[in-house]
Every structure is written in C-alpha cells, then in structure tokens.
Amino acid sequence: MLGRRAREVFGAEVMSIYLPTCREVVATGLPQHFETHFPANGRHYLSAVFLLDPEHYVNISVDITERKLAVAQLERRNAELQQEIQVRQGMEAKVRRLNAQLEERVRERTAELEAANRELEAFSYSVSHDLRAPLRVIGGFSRALLEDGAEALGAAGCAHLDRVCAAARRMEQLIDDLLQLSLVTRCELRREEVDLSRLARDIAQKLQETEPGRPVEWCIAGGLRAPADARLMQVALENLLGNAWKFTARHPQARIELGRAEGAGRGAFFVRDDGAGFDMAQAGKLFNTFQRLHRQEDFAGTGIGLALVQRIIRRLGGEVWGEGAVEQGATIYFTLAAQTKT
Ligand SMILES: Nc1ncnc2c1ncn2[C@@H]1O[C@H](COP(=O)(O)OP(=O)(O)OP(=O)(O)O)[C@@H](O)[C@H]1O
Ligand SMILES: [Mg+2]
C-alpha cells in the first residue's frame, strides 16, 4: 500500500466519512475517537485517529459490528422484558383487586351470617323458654289426673296418660338441652387458667358416688392446666367423663383416663375409656345435635352432650375430634387456644 493515496486504497465513500475527522486531527493536533457506520457493507467500526508527526496521522479502526448487534439484541430483549413485566404487574393488580373484592364479600357474608345466627339463637332460646310453661302444665295436670282419677280412667287410660307424662318429661329434657346449647354460645367468656385435673377429679368423684360399687379405675393426670373458661370446661368435662362413665357401664371393669397426648395429636388433651366404643365410619356424626350412635335401650341419652362439647371447645379457640372402635373404647381429643391438631 505504500506510495498510494488513502483514497485509492479505501475508496471515496470511506474517505468521505474519515477525511473531515482526519483533517480536524491535523489542524488541532488532538486525537479523536469515534464510531462509524458504512451503509455499503452494513458494518460498524470504532476508530481512533491521532498524529504521528506534523505530516502523518494514524487511523486505527476495529470492527464492532458483532458487538453492536449484540447490544441491539439485548436492548430489544430488555424492551420485551419490560413489556412482560408491565403485563404481569397489570395482572397482579387485577388479582389484588379481585382478592380485595372477595375479602369484602366474605366480610359482608360473614357479618350477615353472624347476624342470622344471633337471630336464630335468640329465636330458639325464646321458643325453648316459652315452650316450658305450657309443657309444665301438661305434665303437671297429667300427673294430677293419674293420681286422682286413676279409677275413672281405668288401666288403659292410665297407661295412655303415663305415656303422656313420659313424653312431657322427655320434651322437658330436650328443651333443657336446647337451652343449655344456646347458653353455651351466648354466655360471656371468662378466660382464666383452668385446672382441668382438679375439675376432672371432682366430676369423677360425683360420678362414682352415683354407683359406689362400680369397679372403675380413674386415671386423671395431674397438673393439666390451660387457658380456658372454668364454667364452660366444667360442662365439657362433665359430658366427656359422663359419656365415658355411661359407655363403660356394660363392662365388668372399666378404666377412664384424662391425659395429654404424645406423638400424633401431641399436646391435645384426651378423655379415653375402654367401653362400648363406636364404629369409626360413624365418627362424623359424633358431634351433631341429637345424633346418637347407640340405641336408647342400650345407653340412654339425648345426643346433645358432644354437641355442647364441640361448641365450648370451638368458642375457646380449639378443636375436638374422636376415635373409637366397637367394644374397644373411645377417645375424645380436644385442644384449647394456641394448641393445634397435628
Ligand atoms: N365414650 C363414648 N363411647 C362410645 N360412644 C360414645 C362415647 N361418647 C359418645 N359416644 C357416641 O356419641 C353419641 C353422642 O354423644 P353425646 O354425648 O352427644 O350423646 P349422649 O351421651 O348419647 O346423650 P347426652 O349426652 O345428651 O345425654 C352417643 O350417643 C354415643 O353413641
Ligand atoms: Mg353424653
């Protein structure tokens, strides 16, 4: 290339791009850095021009086309990502809006349900309450008639009236149960540290006094304490231990236990007996109002006890569940606030 002019080597187009800068370098003596693009071959160059001596300058150019393309591609991908982010943010905002609407609706429905529940409770309370008076009249006059008019009534008449009295007593029991159920949900909670062991020992003693000769081994763990409401826990334990006492009555010997579970369900309290037990397939009905898994002739009851227990335990922020097997006893577990079923 020596001895030839730059225009001859690089061509007119290249020189028309470089020459103005080269002239400036010659005029000012200051080096220049710049990027150029040649439409003819579509390539990009990074060039540096500086003076070698007053009469010669040097131009060094590096092909940066690949780098430029990579940068352009990165910018495109960035723009795409930006767009994707915007779409996602839009979707997130939509989900948040929907969630907020849903929460609002749940709040409204819960408030409606709570109001309806309160109304129902008040209604069932006053109905049960108002039903008592006429029922007492029916029972009272039937008994009076049985006592004073037995002769006139004859044997068949007395038998019929006997059944009226029995039905009135049963209805009175049902109403009492309904009232108690309603009271358990309506009464004010009084939170305190409750000594479950002591409550259970007193209840066990009273149960045993109803039939002192019954061989029942009571195993009540000591020191069982929990934050609860003493009156409500008294009702719950009376029902749980009462059930254990009742459903072991047909076994020659029995063992009734109050303790705290280890392993699965750890921390939960439990009342266990080795009595009649029940079929686990029916366990779903245990806590339903007026539902019983045993026949009235085998074990008397109205089927309200465990419904009461469930309401009490739930009010105290816990859970209750049962396990059993036919003729192998039953265990009712319950947690109180801050405990969990595992
Ligand atoms: N310890 C238990 N062993 C076997 N079955 C039980 C036990 N506890 C409850 N059950 C079953 O669950 C049913 C419901 O219990 P719940 O205490 O509600 O009613 P109840 O004892 O029959 O009547 P009530 O408690 O109203 O006098 C019982 O009828 C019985 O079939
Ligand atoms: Mg019961």
45, containing H or E segment: strand 43-53
Same domain flag for 219 and 311:
yes
Same domain flag for 212 and 169:
no
Same domain flag for 182 and 231:
no
**pLDDT of 342 over the 50 cut:** no
The pLDDT tens digits for 60-96 are 999 999 999 999 999 999 999 999 999 999 999 999 9
Same domain flag for 322 and 275:
yes
- Alpha carbon distance 295, 316 (integer Å): 31
Ligand 1, pocket-test mutation among 239, 292, 309, 333, most atoms within 8 A of CB: 292
- Relative to the alpha carbon of 283, which ligand is closest? 1
In the predicted model, what is the mean pLDDT of residues 221-238? 95
Q: Residue 317: give its domain's CATH number.
A: 3.30.565.10
The answer to the question of residue 278 being in a domain is yes
Ligand 2 centroid to Cα of residue 290, in Å, is 10
Same domain flag for 145 and 29:
no
Residue nearest to ligand 1 atom 12, measured at CA? 286
Ligand 1 centroid to Cα of residue 18, in Å, is 102
The pLDDT tens digits for 13-24 are 788 888 888 889
| Residue 280 DSSP symbol | G
Same domain flag for 321 and 213:
yes
- Relative to the alpha carbon of 303, which ligand is closest? 1
Q: Which of 60-74, 119-133, 190-204 comes out lowest in average pLDDT?
A: 119-133
Same domain flag for 175 and 50:
no
Task: Give the count of beta carbons closer than 10 Å to the beta carbon of residue 160.
Answer: 13
Ligand 1 touching residue 293 (CB < 6 A): yes
- Distances in whole angstroms, Cα of residue 268 to Cα of each of 123, 264, 324, 342: 35, 9, 16, 9
The pLDDT tens digits for 237-285 are 999 999 999 999 999 999 999 999 986 666 899 999 999 999 999 999 9
Same domain flag for 329 and 196:
yes
Per-residue pLDDT at 272: 98
Q: Residue 270 sits in which domain range? A: 192-334
| Average pLDDT value for the chain | 91
Confirm if 274 and 248 have CB atoms less than 8 A apart.
yes
| Greater model confidence, 125 or 28 | 28
Task: Give the count of beta carbons closer than 10 Å to the beta carbon of residue 235.
Answer: 18
Same domain flag for 211 and 269:
yes
Burial of 211 (0-12, 13-18, 19+ CB in 10 A): exposed
Same domain flag for 152 and 210:
no
| Residue where a domain stops, chosen among 153, 186, 219 | 186
Structural domains in the chain (count): 3
